[in-house]
Structure 1
């Protein structure tokens, strides 16, 4: 195992996060300063909960974080973070109601990845599909001028998706966190300034 893998894995344990992925969000925040106290955040594909925990810390107890994932998690969350098990793209009435109670959200974020099969083209296409589904949720539930963070695998669909993002947000940034594994094709796209009027 490479040393940097050891470092982020061990650091997550030391900092009481369930996964090393938390440092990706921390790097994005260090670069772009998206979170403020009192914000409302929707975390799509939240399990095991590292991003939700981090967001909860960043928005403080005056803020709210709602995390949703198909998988369950045994992570203990603070009172300002709520986790619900379910499909983020086919919402149960309970999750729909939880979203309605909090929307519009200041930030919607997705660290979702498809189940990979080892075929780079297929994996990237599936990743892009997830990104588009998450973007649709952002269009429905984001506050005007809100922000959207989404993970995509680099490949043929990358440029097309960035173009779609530019129709939805005033600015689009890309971040490749140092905490991503060097062999990983993942990159994070961040939309800033959600537009009230979208492109045709």
Structure 2
């Protein structure tokens, strides 16, 4: 009887094939390492297969699977939405296209400083969410207050860890105050934070405005990254 061929790319104890990238002339080693990591990242590969614009889509999928805030009929605001992976997930889960028969139809509004390629079922706008009147503008687009405000924003990296931490925490705090202005009672705020000390002040702020606040690192977040996500549920207003 012929021996069955062995699949050397899968199975416990078997070596997986990795893509190796040579450093091209004029390209930095850091760029080569980033490209190699991207090519070998299972979430990047899965995003390509399943039609998501970024691997970050799986972060919001995993968070929503656990905390269930993207429900049919929900009105969602995605701050800093480019390239659009989170909006794609939100459209599916809140039934923005009305594909789930018998379920409420939700709305998804994405805003970003840059123009974003259209996403069926999402309203995408070029807007600085920190500009005067941005909260009223977003509520007008939504047709009312939001059930969810979510943000995967990160400030441009300076290469200095402490500085980058303070920048992203300042951005997250601004997103939180925006959420206070647009969220309906019982709403949810989800945002990326970086471990490093200053996040404790943000958590204290959120605990005054929400019934429950958790800090979590979803599996899709790279192990070597200091990023985590804050999920605040049960908005009750900011109590001084």
- TM-score w.r.t. length of structure 1: 0.92
Mapped contact 1:48–1:72 kept (Cα < 8 A): no
Q: Which residue, out of 191, 194, 208, partners 1:167?
A: 208
What root-mean-square deviation, in Å, do the aligned CA atoms of Structure 1 and Structure 2 show?
Answer: 1.8
Of the structure 1 ranges 36-45 and 101-110, higher mean CA displacement relative to structure 2 is found in 101-110
Please list every run of 5 or more consecutive structure 1 residues that lacks an aligned counterpart in the other structure. none
Q: Shift of residue 2 of structure 1?
A: 4.6
Distance in 2 between residues matched to 1:142 and 1:154, nearest whole Å: 26
- Residue 10 of structure 2: aligned partner: none
How many angstroms apart in 1 are the aligned matches of 2:40 and 2:172?
26
CA pair 136-7 structure 1, distance change in 2 beyond 3 A: same
TM-score (norm 2): 0.77
Deviations 1:68-123 (A, max 9, x none): 0112222x411x31111121111677x85343242310000010001011111100
Partner SS state of residue 121, structure 1: helix
1:100 counterpart (120, 140, 154)? 140
Residue 71 of structure 2 is aligned with which of 28, 36, 59? 36
Is 1:77 matched with 2:119?
A: yes
**Separation in 2 of the partners of 1:71 and 1:176?**
27
Q: Counterparts of 1:154-193 in structure 2 under 5 Å? A: 154-193=195-234
Deviates further, 83-92 or 26-35? 83-92
- Unaligned ranges ≥5, structure 2: 1-35, 99-104
Q: How does 1:44-193 map to 2 (within 5 A)?
A: 44-60=79-95, 61=98, 62-74=105-117, 76-78=118-120, 80-90=121-131, 96-102=136-142, 103-193=144-234
Residue of 37, 44, 59 corresponding to 1:9: 44
Residues 94, 106 of structure 2: 8 Å contact kept: yes
Mark the structure with the bigger radius of gyration: 2
Residues 1:190 and 1:127: Cα distance change in structure 2 (over 3 Å): same
8 Å CA contact 2:47–2:55 kept in 1: the answer is: yes
Please tell me whether the aligned partners of residues 184 and 235 of structure 2 are also in contact (alpha carbons under 8 angstroms). yes
Aligned-pair CA distance for 1:5: 5.1
1: CA distance between counterparts of 2:169 and 2:209? 16
CA separation of 1:169/1:98 partners in 2, compared to 1, >3 Å: closer, same or farther?
closer
Larger relative contact order (CA 8 Å, sep ≥ 6): 1
